[in-house]
Chain A
Amino acid sequence: MITPAATAPLRRNELGWYLYGVAAAGEASAPLARLAAGGAQEVELVAEGPLVGVASRVSLQEFDEAALPERLRDATWLEEKIRAHEQVLERVLEDASIVPCRFCTVYRSEVELRRFLSERREALQAALDRVRGKVEVGVKAFIDRDRFAVAQAKQNDDIRQLETQVSTAEGGRAYLKRRRLEQRVAAELDGFRGEAADRLHTRLLAAAEDGLSLPLQAPELSGREEEMVFNGAYLVTADRAAFEEALALLGRDFRDDGVDLELTGPWPAYNFVPEELGPE
C-alpha cells in the first residue's frame, strides 16, 4: 500500500512516550528493574518532582492520531496493546499505588510528558491519595436458571403446586401446565434480578471504601452461559480481608438461589480515579 507523504507528517521511527499511569516517586522505584527485565515492554519511570510517569517509548508512527481509528479495528493489535497496558499497571501495583491512565495516552516528547506531570501535580497527587494503599476488585454475579427454578419450588407454594400438576398431567394439558410454570418462574426471576443486585451492592459497599455498578456483560463477553445479574467494582484496602469475608458470606447466601459470584482483580483503581483532571 502506498501512503501519500502529505498524510504522514511524522518521520519514520520517531519516538514518543506512552503513559500507562502516574505513581509517587518514592513508591514506584522498586518495580522498575523488574519491569525492564520483563522484556517485551521496556518500561521507564519518568520522575518529575514527587511524581513519576510510568511510561514506554513508542513509535509515533504506530500511534499516529490519523492511523489510530484504523488500528483499533485490528483485534490482534488492540488485544496486544491493551494486555500490555494492563500488565504494566499490574506489575507497578504490586509495590506502589498508581493512578491508571486510559488506553493510548501518548506524548510526543519527554518534555511534554514532564510538563504535564509538573503542571498537574496537585490534581494528580489528590487522585493518588485517594487510591493509596487500595486496589480495585470486580464482583460479578451469574444466575443459573435451573437452580433458580429449583430454589423457587422450595420457597414458593404456587410454584410447587404447578410443578406437581406438571408431573401428574398428561399430553396437551401437561404442555400447558409446563408453559405456565415456566412463565411463573420467569416472572419471579424478573423481580429477583434487581433485588439481588441491590442486596449484593449494599453489602459489598459496606465492606469497601467505595463502589459502583458497571454495565452487565452479555454472554458473548462474559464467556459464561449463565445470565449476568450484577457487575460491580469496589475500591478496597490492599489486603482485601474484610471484603473477601463479606463476599464469602454473600456467596453462601446466594448459592441456594442459583447465583454464583466471581471475584476479579486486584486491578489498578480504574473506576476510582477522576475521569478527567479538574481545571488547571
Chain B
Amino acid sequence: MSSRELESYRSGQPAQLADVLERVLDKGIVIAGDIQINLLDIELLTVKIRLLIASADKAREMGIDWWEGDAFLSKRNGQGELEQRLRKLEEAAGLPTSPKQESD
C-alpha cells in the first residue's frame, strides 16, 4: 500500500519535544546506575520542565530567547517573567503551582 493511500492520519515530523520528553523522562528501563536522577526529583521536576521547554519552544519559534539570563533561572527574583508564565500554565493545566517566593 502506498503512503498516498494512508493520508487519513498525519505523521508528525520531526518529533515534537513533548513526545520525546514524555518518553525519555518518564519511561525506559530504570536501572541502578551509579548516578541517577532521584525519582522523586524527576516527578516534581518533569511537569515544570515540560512547561518550561514547551514555552521555550514557542518563544524560539517567535525568535525570542527570553529564558536566557531570566530571573527564574538565576533565582535572584521569584517574580521573573518566566516564573509568572510557568505559574499561569500550571494553573491552566490544573497542576500544583510552583511555590511563590516571598519578596521580603
- Cβ distance A259 to chain B, nearest Cβ, rounded Å: 10
Given A79-B53, A220-B92, A221-B54; A241-B1 close (CB under 8 Å) = yes
- List B residues 1-44 near A (Cβ within 8 Å): 1, 5-12, 15-38, 41
B8 and A252: CB pair below 8 A?
A: yes
User: Which one of A102, A261, A264, A273 has the greatest number of beta carbons of chain B within 10 Å?
Assistant: A102
B10 and A65: CB pair below 8 A?
A: no
B30 and A222: CB pair below 8 A?
A: no
B11 and A223: CB pair below 8 A?
A: no
B22 and A214: CB pair below 8 A?
A: yes
Asked if A46 is an interface residue, CB under 8 A from chain B, the answer is no
B31 and A120: CB pair below 8 A?
A: yes
A99 and B29: CB pair below 8 A?
A: yes
Asked if B51 is an interface residue, CB under 8 A from chain A, the answer is yes
- Cβ distance A64 to chain B, nearest Cβ, rounded Å: 7
Given A75-B56, A220-B51, A263-B9; A100-B29 close (CB under 8 Å) = yes
The total number of A-B Cβ pairs within 8 Å is 182
Q: Which of B23, B49, B57, B58 contacts A78 (CB 8 A)?
A: B49
Given A69-B45, A220-B93, A247-B9; A102-B30 close (CB under 8 Å) = yes
The digit string for B63-80, where 1 denotes a CB below 8 A from any CB of A, is 000011000010000000
**Which residues of chain B have C-beta atoms less than 8 A from A109's C-beta?**
34
B35 and A138: CB pair below 8 A?
A: no
Q: Which of A107, A260, A273 contacts B9 (CB 8 A)?
A: A260
A244 and B6: CB pair below 8 A?
A: yes
Q: Which of A83, A108, A247, A275 contacts B29 (CB 8 A)?
A: A275
Q: Contact residue range for chain A? A: 35 or more
- Cβ distance B93 to chain A, nearest Cβ, rounded Å: 5
**Which residues of chain B have C-beta atoms less than 8 A from A52's C-beta?**
none
- Cβ distance B6 to chain A, nearest Cβ, rounded Å: 4
**Identity of the chain B residue whose Cβ is nearest the Cβ of A267 in the assembled complex:** B23
Cα separation A65 to B54 with both chains bound (whole Å): 25
B9 and A223: CB pair below 8 A?
A: no
Report the 4 A-B pairs with minimum CB-CB distance, sorted nearest first: A251-B8, A270-B27, A261-B9, A270-B23
Contact residues of A with B, CB < 8 Å? 16, 19, 21-22, 60, 63-65, 68-69, 72-76, 78-79, 82-83, 85-86, 99-109, 112, 116, 120, 127, 136, 138-139, 214, 217-218, 220-223, 241, 244-245, 247-252, 255, 260-264, 267-268, 270-271, 273-277
- Could you jot down 7 A-B contacts, CB within 8 Å? A69-B45, A105-B31, A138-B19, A220-B58, A223-B54, A251-B9, A262-B12
